[in-house]
Each structure stands twice: as structure tokens, then as C-alpha cells.
Amino acid sequence: MAIILITISYLLLGAHSVRGGDFGLATFFVGCLALAMTKERWAGAVTTVVLGTGSLIWLLKGSELINMRISLGADWMRLGAIMGVVFAVTLFSSALPFAPAGRKWFIRDFDKMWFKAAIFLLTAVFLELTRSNAPFPVLLVDRFFPGWGRAEIFLIATYASWIGGKMFMPDGAKKMRPLIWSIFSGAFFLQLALGIAGFDKFLMTGNLHLPVPALIAAGPVFRGSGFFMPILFAVSVLLVGPAWCSHLCYIGAWDDISSRIGGKRPDAKFPHALIWVRLILLVLVVAVAWRLRANGVSGFDAFIWAAIFGAVSLFVMFIFSRRMGMMIHCTAFCPMGIAGNILGKLSPWRMKISSDCNQCGKCSKVCRYGALRKVDIQAGRAGLSCTLCGDCVVPCASGCMGYKLPFLSSELSRKIFLVLVISLHCLFLGVARM
Ligand code: SF4
Ligand code: SF4
Ligand code: SF4
């Protein structure tokens, strides 16, 4: 009975969307119905939120139509009764996943309920806000099939919740993070290549620049405009700390791949002081950008400077990161890495080591960012170069290593962090284009 009412409610909302010409939204509702058919608890929680919001659509539409009829002097009672029933059924259906009848249907994966539902909903909200506020179609599907963008929102949000299921446990997260990071980087550069090849729908604005992270800081200094990337970087760092450098950057994924070639373990001899080279380089690239601007240097000449910097970046990645099994480019060369590490201190996220730690050092053997020296472990926290990648959680058999938010347990902190970072990751997957 519960699933029949839920089906009717979704189909009514889908039909209403088709009538309004929003085929993407109709796909979203039908997609949510398909998710409900999986019987997973998180899909039930999504149903509660989506149908609860859907009932508001009926409420607003009903009052609009009734007002129209009243202003025309026409009979509105029958219409009011029909809209009232539709509203009541949808609202009632939204509560069903948490009623006894709904609990008998949504029986699978109870423990992941709020976690996967939160990731799905947050990703959908992020994408919807971006789509509705951008002055041009930001989603790829809207470019090829105008008006179908919400179908893409459904697909990406479903992908996000799937990632959430895989990363629910720390060992799954350790395997999935490099994979989704590479997929994101691959999608970014594939679109760039197609855009350059002439398929301009794969470009965002078509204002090409070199995909060198240092330009996030240096670009606006040289141009005196274009602050979108620094703002995006700052917002993401405030939300998820330095996790930009372990989940969100399209170039960092290359360094990650390079450091894993041959299955090398991170080199314990990494001279930690090298992390400060990035600060010197940050000051240098900003100063050079400012100087080039002050001297009226052309955009092409500035491009050459940036290209040289990018070429050295690649050299560092493919020689040093590969040899040392570490993210040498990100930890000792990229200026934005240190910016993320320092600004990340403004966010509440930390990797903490509990007092039960026996100093076995197993966690430091997997840290590719050189953030777990002996002195860090003794101090009970990860060092400055930590990017919240989470790889060190798995090897700590005694459960001493973990994410920490003030007043919350390590496990809950980790789940909240993952909800945020996976949703942001999938938002970037949907909109990161040049
Ligand atoms: S250090 Fe630089 S290249 Fe590495 S992930 Fe961060 S911004 Fe990207
Ligand atoms: S300390 Fe842990 S979370 Fe931080 S970078 Fe190293 S492995 Fe990743
Ligand atoms: S693996 Fe755990 S117990 Fe061992 S040093 Fe790291 S935090 Fe301490």
C-alpha cells in the first residue's frame, strides 16, 4: 500500500512537470521513484524530502489556480477539492517511509540511511542552486537538450550517493578516493580536449587559461579581474578544509596517480621543511604576476611564463612523486597546496590521534602528504601538510586516528566530512569546465 501511494505521488508530480514542459524535473521524479523501488532506506529518506517538497508544489499551484478562478468569477470548489486531495496524498506519502508500512518496504541498508540520503540531497541542492543562478546553462545536458538539466542533477546525485555507499567504511574510502578523483580529472580534461577540438558546448565560457593551480592566485593578480576561482577555492577550503587537495583539484589527481605508480610506499625520508618551498613559490608567482601586469606584458607572454611553471610542475610530478611514492608536487611545489593547508586551519576539520595511540607508526607509512612524522604523532594530530585524505584511518587497528569536529565523535565527524566533500566533489564534476 505504501509503495502504491508513493508511486502515485511521484507519477502525479512527474506528469505535472511534463505538462509544464520541464522534462528534466519529470525525469528527476521518476528517477526517485526508481530509487524507491530498490527498497533501500536512504531512498525512503529521499522520498520523504522530495515528496514533502512536492506537496508544496501542489499547495502553491492549487492556490494559484483557485485565485485565478475566483478572479474570473468561476466555480472553484471542485478544483479546490481535487487539488486538496492531491496535496494530502503527496504529503501523506512523504511520511510513509517512516511509518510502519513504509518501514516494511524500505528494508535495505538501514545503517547508511541518513548518510546516503544527505549526500544525494545536498548534491542535488548544490547543482540546482548553481543551475538556477548561473546566467548561462552550466550543466552539459542543458546544452545539448535544453530543459533536461534536472535529469543530469538526478544522475549526478545518484552517483554521489553511490560513492557515499562505497566510502561509508574507511577501507572503502581509501580505495574509492583515488578512483573518483581520477574520474573527475579525466572528465575535466576530456571536456577541455573536446572543447579545443571545436565542440564548444564542452567549454564553460570558452575563456581558456592554462589548468595550472598556481594561476588560481596569480591569474587574478595579472588580469586584475576574474576572481571566481580564488573565491571557489576559499569557499571550499572553509567548508572542507584542505580537502581541495585530496578530492577536488583536477591536477592533484595526476600527482596522486604518479605517486602510486609501481605501488611504492611513501618515502619516510621526505625532508619535511620542503613544504615551506610552496610558500616561497606562492609569494614568487604572485609577485611575478604583479610585475608582468605593472610592465604591461602581453597575455601571450604571461601565458609562456605560466606554461613554463606548468611544465616544471609536470616534471616534479612524474619524476619526484613517482620515485618517492609521495605527493611531492602537492606537498613541496604547488603554491596552492600551502594556501589550502594554512587557510584550512580556519575550517573546523582536523585529523586527531587519541591518547590510546601506541606510536606504532603504521599510519605514517601510508601518508602521501608527509603529515605524520614522529613529532606529529606524539603531538596527537596530523601536521600542517595534511589534506584530510583519510588514508591513515585504515591502518590504525586501534582506531586512534580519525577526523574530528569539536564536540562530536570521530565516526560522526568523518561521516559529516564525507557528506560535504562527496557532494562538493560531485558538484565540481557537474560544473567544472573551462
Ligand atoms: S597542491 Fe596544487 S595541484 Fe595539488 S591538489 Fe592542491 S591545488 Fe591541486
Ligand atoms: S595525515 Fe592522514 S588524512 Fe592527513 S594527509 Fe596524511 S594520510 Fe591523509
Ligand atoms: S597507527 Fe594508530 S596507534 Fe599507530 S601510530 Fe598511528 S595513530 Fe598511533
DSSP output for 71-83: HHT---HHHHHHH
Q: Which ligand is nearest to the CA of 397?
A: 3
pLDDT at 278: 97
d(CA 368, CA 268): 10
Q: Answer whether residue 207 shows pLDDT above 80.
A: no
Phi-psi label, residue 380: left if phi above 0, alpha if psi -120 to 50, beta otherwise: left
- The residue to mutate among 389, 393, 403, 414, having the most atoms of ligand 2 within 8 angstroms of its beta carbon, is 389
- Report pLDDT for 432: 87
Dist CA 96 CA 1 (whole Å) = 10
- Residue bearing the CA closest to ligand 3, atom 3: 357
Please state, in angstroms and as integers, the Cα–Cα distance from residue 63 to each residue in 21, 71, 78, 193, 262, following that order: 20, 12, 13, 50, 65
Task: For residue 49, give the nearest of 28, 64, 63 by alpha carbon.
Answer: 28
Residue extents of the structural domains in the chain: 1-108, 110-199+409-434, 209-399
Mean pLDDT of 115-125: 98
- Say whether pLDDT at 419 is over 80: yes
**156-170 mean pLDDT:** 97
Atom 2 in ligand 2: which residue has the minimum CA distance?
A: 392
Ligand 3 mean position to 13 CA, how many Å? 52
**Which helix H or strand E contains 401, and what residues bound it?**
strand 401-404
pLDDT confidence of residue 262: 86
Q: Is 430's pLDDT higher than 90?
A: yes
For the residues 418-423, what does the mean pLDDT come to? 98
**pLDDT at 341 (0 to 100):** 97
Could you tell me the distance, in angstroms and rounded to a whole number, from the CA of residue 97 to the centre of ligand 1? 42
Separation CA 368–CA 389 (nearest Å): 9
Task: Write the residue with the smallest CA distance to atom 7 of ligand 2.
Answer: 367
